[in-house]
Amino acid sequence: MVQTFHLRLPEFRRGFHLITELVLQQTGKLPDKGMLHVFIRHTSAGLTINENADPTVRQDFETVFNHLVKENEPYYAHDTEGSDDLPAHIKSSLVGSSVMIPIVNGKLDLGTWQGIYLCEFRNHGGRRELTVSVWS
């Protein structure tokens, strides 16, 4: 059986943000075993799983991604929505648009230091929409 939820996140500033609890608030009680799939319905933000304890990891992610994919490069053709738009599309492709997590004993089977990140790559990305599916 699959349950599907649509979640509209609050607006987040550019950067990497833990959203594990926001996702779990929408799903309610998880089944004893199954899978949780989270998909972001945007092309300039992404999802990933990483460190959930030390906020400097999220700061470093932002620094590294900005170093890898710079804004205002003269060879970008897609720039009508601002200097952060094309880099945001590239960064979201590098990170990906979904995560899938096993459910074991009614809980997400994340590692001790793992959480779900919203990777907001736009300066003003707005409220992002997620589709969350729970398989049991």
pLDDT tens per residue across span 9-19: 999 999 999 99
Alpha carbons within 13 A on the beta-carbon side of 105:
2
**pTM strictly above 0.85:** yes
Q: What is the mean pLDDT of the chain?
A: 97
- CATH domain 2-135 topology: Jelly Rolls (2.60.120)
Q: Is the pLDDT of residue 88 over 90?
A: yes
State the pLDDT at residue 110: 98
- CB neighbour list of residue 3: distance below 8 Å, 6 or more residues apart: 27, 133, 134, 136
pLDDT tens for 17-76 read: 999 999 999 999 999 999 999 999 999 999 999 999 999 999 999 999 999 999 999 999
